[in-house]
A = this chain, B = another copy of it.
Amino acid sequence: MGEAVPDTEQKIKEAAKRVFLEYGFEGAKIRQIAEAADVNIALVNYYFRSKEQLFNSIYRETFAEFVGKMVVLLNEKTPLEVKIWKIVDRYTDFILDNQMMPAFILTQQRKEGAAFFRELDVRSIIQGSYFWKQLQEASAKGEIRAIDPLQIVISVMGSIIFPIMAGGVLSYIGTFDEQSFRDFIEARKKIIPEMIMTYLKSG
């Protein structure tokens, strides 16, 4: 909102984000980033001291935004069933808008472990969330089956993220064009909550 005209630093950041997301850390070249930002290569090191620091600042920022959205979703004060529908709906849209993020985060994970997750205290965010409490309480009251809430969280996340992450492969298998891929993902907004809820309510 009312953002200033993008200065050089911002131009580099945006270009770098695109290039890093598409090619990964090693695959992305500083000259490529500079060209994408329409800027002299020396300027990249002028504003960010090194490729590594440029990468880190971008990765943190993007990931923090990612986590931020998650916090909001997990803590909305709506009943459990409605909540799950909402989470799936909005989380799906978010991942659709940032399709390369999950693969990028998971690739990065194999290099540096869960460092950024730890920094942002993602554990507390999840386990301290209202959603987490809802699952525990509903389970204690016997409204839903007794289960580790983390199993549910992972199931929901995996169900949403995996098909989007594997978009290219999935589109080939289903003979999808862009639109039918979207339809397939859109259909999951109904399937996933139903699957989770029938499971939680049964047993």
**With an 8 A cutoff between CB atoms, is A172 at the interface?**
yes
A8 to chain B, nearest CB (A): 27
Q: What's the number of copies of this chain in the assembled complex?
A: 2
Interface residues of A in 148-171 (CB under 8 A from B): 148, 150-151, 154-155, 157-159, 161-163, 165-166, 168-171
Most chain B CB within 10 A, of A118, A123, A158, A191, is at: A158
- Kindly report which residue of chain B lies nearest to residue A160, judged by CB atoms: B158
A115 to chain B, nearest CB (A): 9
Q: Which of A9-17, A75-83, A106-114 contacts B (4 or more CB under 8 A)?
A: A106-114
Q: Given B158, B171, B184, B187, which contacts A159 in the complex, CB threshold below 8 Å?
A: B158
Per the bound structure, the CA–CA distance linking A191 and B169 in Å amounts to 26
**With an 8 A cutoff between CB atoms, is A47 at the interface?**
no
A152 to chain B, nearest CB (A): 9
Per the bound structure, the CA–CA distance linking A26 and B25 in Å amounts to 9
Contact A107 B109 (CB under 8 A): no
